[in-house]
Every structure is written in C-alpha cells, then in structure tokens.
Amino acid sequence: MYMLTHEEVYKFLKRKQTLSHSGLNKEAGLPTGTLTKAMNGQRTLTESHLKALEPVLLQYGIEDFLNRRATVLAIVNHKGGVGKTTTTINLGKGLVNRGQSVLLIDMDSQGNLSQSLGVHNPQQQLLQALTQSVPMPVLRLKENYHLVPSDLELSRAEAELIKTPSGVLRFRNVLAPLLTQYDYVLIDCPPSLNIFTYSALVASTAALVVLEPEASAVKGMYNLLELIQDIKDSFNPRLGIEGIVMAQVSQQLVLHRELMSQVRNDLKGQPFFKTEIRQNIALAESQYVGQDIFDYKPSSTGAVDYQALADEVVAKHPA
C-alpha cells in the first residue's frame, strides 16, 4: 500500500483547517499533541504515525487532495491595455489570500507581468522550457505565490512553435508536471490571438476574459470565442469560459453603465462575473513599484474588487 509522507499530511491539514488535530489523534490512536507539534514544525511524523493516520485521513478526502490538478485559467483579450496583467497579478494574490497556491505564467514577450512583479531580464524563463525541453523555471515571490517569467526573448520561440505540427502542444506538455503542485495556474496571455494565446488555451481549464466598458469592447470578441470553440473541438474538450470580467469601470459615468449593459446584451449567454473592477489609480501605482495591490494599498477599491473576484473564482471550484 502507498505510504503517506509527512509533507503530504502537513499540506492536507494546512488546507483542511476545520479538521480537529486532537480528534484525528484520537481516531488514529496517536499520542496527544502529535499532529499539533507536526504542524508547528516541532516534530516529524514517523512511519508508524503515518501508517496509523492513513486510513483515518482517507475518510476525510486526502486521496482526492493528493490527486488534484490545478485549475488553469488563461487571462485573455484580443487587445492590449484592458487589464489582463493587472488581473493576473491581483486575482492571483486574492486567491492566495483565500488559502490557495498559485502559479503565474508570463506568456507575453513584452514581459509586463514579470516586470510588474519586479522581475527584469530573467536568465531562466519560459523560452527555455518551450525550446529546449527543460523544466519551467519557477520563481518564488511569496509563499504559495510563484512566477514563471518571460521577456522579449520569448518572441524567439514563436517561429519554432509555428513551424512544427506539435508546437501548440509544447506548452501544455511542459506545464503538466506542475499541475499537482498548485491549486491555480494563471496565464497572462499576449494582446493578440497568436501561437502563445493558442498554446495557453490548449493547456487551460478555462479562459477568463477581461473587457473594458467601451464601444469597441465586443469587436474581436467573436473571433476569440470562435478560437476557444475551435480549440475545444480540436485539442482540449474540457476548455470552457470561466467568465468575463469588466475592468476599468467608472461608477460615475452613465456611459459606462450603458456600454456594459450593451456588452452583456451582445454577449448574451456568456458567463459574466458579478464583480466589476473599478478604476483605481492605486492599481497602476502598485505595478510601477513591483507590488500587488494587497501589499501596496490593501484598503483600496482595487484590493476590494480583486478579492471579490477571487472569491467568485474559488466559489466556482469548491475544494
């Protein structure tokens, strides 16, 4: 029989904080305080402890927990400047705030995601993983909040990915080993429907679309929706649309209200998030100084809105 490890039990109990350590000790016949000390780093669980705990923890879902795979969300739009990078950074941190482990992936050769998190000119980046069949380089930003960086060098991979029939599958293959290590993977896609966006969607559970309340918001959306459907039919049958979030919204502008109503009507049948991301200068300021909005100004409307968006996402994927 497979034997649990100390690390697996630790991760499981850290996530399932409603489980009573004393109750589990009693069920497994362990000495009082065993699990509390293990969770506090005061002791390592022995083989006999693990053997006694295994049938107990199986009842509480540890097998499903260990076999879980990350929810992979491609943050997409066909144009730039709508808030994809801002959403990737701050939705990711909002998920971390709710106890989730998150990996951010910079899939744009402009490298805005990496730069906005203080990572410039990374020596190891996504490019090598796509072109040299080496593991993705993962940088730890904070606990449970990690990054695969990119910069302009990534553009060198485009021609190589396009010229090979399996090029569109390469990203999915190099991402696969990381899927059991995280709850969520958020991919910041480029502002175009190119091979990188295509590759991200092939590897994703769903697309999260960021839209601005403007007259041209729907233009190009139909092309994106067609691309998503094409990828669903050809490569990734599980691919769906996580939701559409309206960003850079001004509560004071009647025009914004009218435009958002029009967008929702034009895209009737598509899932929209209830949360709207309001215009907030602190969001731009936080990226300028290389921080997420929760570290930069936790009381701002930007922090409130992105936490609400994260809470909606978590509600869609109950543990």
Pick the residue with more confidence: 66 or 296?
296
Does the residue 107 lie in any domain?
Answer: yes
**Which DSSP string corresponds to 53-104?**
HHHHHHHTTHHHHHT---EEEEEE-SSSSSSHHHHHHHHHHHHHHTT--EEE
Mean pLDDT across the chain: 91
| 272 neighbors 210 (Cβ within 8 angstroms) | no
Do 115 and 232 reside in the same domain of the chain? yes
Q: Return d(Cα 81, Cα 83) in angstroms, integer.
A: 6
Residue-wise pLDDT tens digits, 235-258:
999 999 999 999 988 877 777 888
- Beta-carbon contacts of residue 114 (< 8 Å; ≥ 6 apart): 106, 120, 122, 125, 147, 149, 150, 151
Q: How far apart are CA 133 and CA 153, in angstroms?
A: 16
CATH of the domain at 260: 3.40.50.300
Determine what percent of the chain is predicted with pLDDT higher than 90: 72
Q: Are residues 115 and 251 in the same domain?
A: yes
Residue 156 lies in a domain: yes
pTM of the model: 0.82
Structural tokens at position 20:
């009573």
Q: Are residues 176 and 39 in the same domain?
A: no
In a domain, 1, yes or no: no
Looking at residue 1, what is its pLDDT?
Answer: 44
Give the pLDDT confidence of 82-103 residue by residue, as tens digits: 899 999 999 999 999 999 999 9
Q: Which residue has the tokens 């922090």?
A: 303
For residue 246, tell me if it sits in a domain: yes
Residues 83 and 25 in one domain: no
**What are the pLDDT digits (tens) for 2-20?**
578 888 899 889 888 889 9
| Domain co-membership, 15 together with 90 | no
Evaluate whether 271 touches 243 at the Cβ level (below 8 Å). yes
Residues 50 and 95 in one domain: no
Domain that holds residue 22: 6-65
Pick the closest to residue 13 from 68, 59, 57, 69 (CA basis): 57
